[in-house]
Amino acid sequence: MNVLILEPYYGRSRKRFVEGLTEHSRHEIQVVSMSARYWQWRLQGGAVTLAHKALEALDNGFVPNVILASDMVNLAAFKALTNGRFSGVPMVMYFHNNRLTYPLSPTEHRDPAFGYINYLSALVADYLVFNSQSHLQEFTGALPAFLGTYPDYTHLEKAQEIRQKSRVLHRGISLRQFDAFTDATEPVGWGVGMKPPIILWNHRWEYDQNPHAFFRLLNRLDDVGCKFRLILAGEHFNEANEFGQSFSRFADRILHYGYAEDVEEYGRLLQRAHLVVSTAVHEFFGVTLLEAIYCGCHPLLPNRLTYPELLPTSLQKPLLHAPTLYENEDELFEIMQSILKGQERPLPQETLRSIPEHLDWKTHIHQFDALFEEVGR
């Protein structure tokens, strides 16, 4: 079976997804892509380039049985520009995120045109696949109110049509690549008198990940005398003044600072850390958290968004170990304090590893291949 992938924003997490899918699938895959920059322009105008490249691949003999398009594709424009030459080929849209509900900082203004492109693409796609149940519910739940902002001919019934052709398929992750760096693991010896554990932040320094709440947590822990070390490996964009002030307070405890793009460097940092914290106000899936959990980091996550979906129920509030989900910042502080003072112990590494290992591409690829075989002609 031939699968044609359309990805106009081919970089970082999206690129890793496509590479993992291409490497492990039993089907023949060809990728039509564009560089990962100018996301607004990719969403608005990328279909012209994608259509040209896709038709070129068709003329060169690659006849797809399925087209897999990312949420960054203006699929309605792509179908129009290819003049029916892919007529009858099922088109599947995979939503990594969407521009209808993508979180914006208080200083940003949402342009409804981008959300409408996602909506039109969802209408013309044959199948819609979301990376989490939380994401699916969020997008389809927001559609009626979004359509209701227009003056007439809103076609609110289309929201239900979109929901009916939607499903959830968690994305695959290349987890086993981190097995090569287990020699970097640093034992702590949990309990009174233990060596200060290492807290990991491997998320983007952006509004939706709420780094300021993370530093509020660290300040409170420091104020009550908790000992800890830090690995700050998230990708940086625009740093606020508050970040710089907080950074100076913990400079002597920071073992690493800066985005770790190299797989070996990043893998060793994950293996070295002991606790991973999320203070996110929004998350569509959570790849970086699952990578950290696989490498033995006990997670402390908000009890909302995608997180309850990604953790087995039995491990959300385990009886003999520290909780993994928290309700608010005060509860997060109390849990962290009890761990750092040796009063509660994290989950064993083998238990942590088992949480996301089913999403490793070597196992999870069967889910995607089954999807292609189900919908392909």
- CATH assignment at residue 35: 3.40.50.2000
Say whether both 168 and 181 belong to one domain: no
pLDDT digits (tens, 9 = 90+) for 287-326: 999 999 999 999 999 999 999 999 999 999 898 899 999 9
Domain residue limits at 311: 176-357
Q: What is the pLDDT of residues 348-362, one digit of tens each?
A: 999 999 999 999 999
221-271 pLDDT, tens digit each? 999 999 999 999 987 755 555 556 667 889 999 999 888 889 999 999 999
Span 50-77, pLDDT tens digits: 999 999 999 999 999 999 999 999 999 9
136-173 residue pLDDT tens: 999 999 999 999 999 999 999 999 999 999 999 999 99
Can you give the pLDDT at residue 261?
Answer: 84
Q: What is the mean pLDDT of the chain?
A: 95
Residues 366 and 351 in one domain: no
pLDDT of residue 245: 66
Q: Are residues 252 and 105 in the same domain?
A: no
**195 and 301 fall within a common domain:** yes
Tokens for 323, please give them. Answer: 């909780």
Q: For residue 196, give both structure tokens.
A: 């200060």
DSSP assignment of 151-182: SS---THHHHHHHHTEEE-PPPB--GGGGGGG
Q: Tell me how many domains the chain contains.
A: 2
Q: What sign for the dihedral angle of Cα 246, 323, 176, 372?
A: negative
Q: Which pLDDT belongs to residue 247?
A: 72
Q: Are 101 and 198 members of one domain? A: no
- Give residue 235's pLDDT: 78
Are residues 209 and 165 both part of a single domain? no
The confidence score (pLDDT) of residue 107 equals 87
| Distance from C-alpha of 253 to C-alpha of 324, rounded to nearest angstrom | 24
Residue with tokens 């496509």: 18
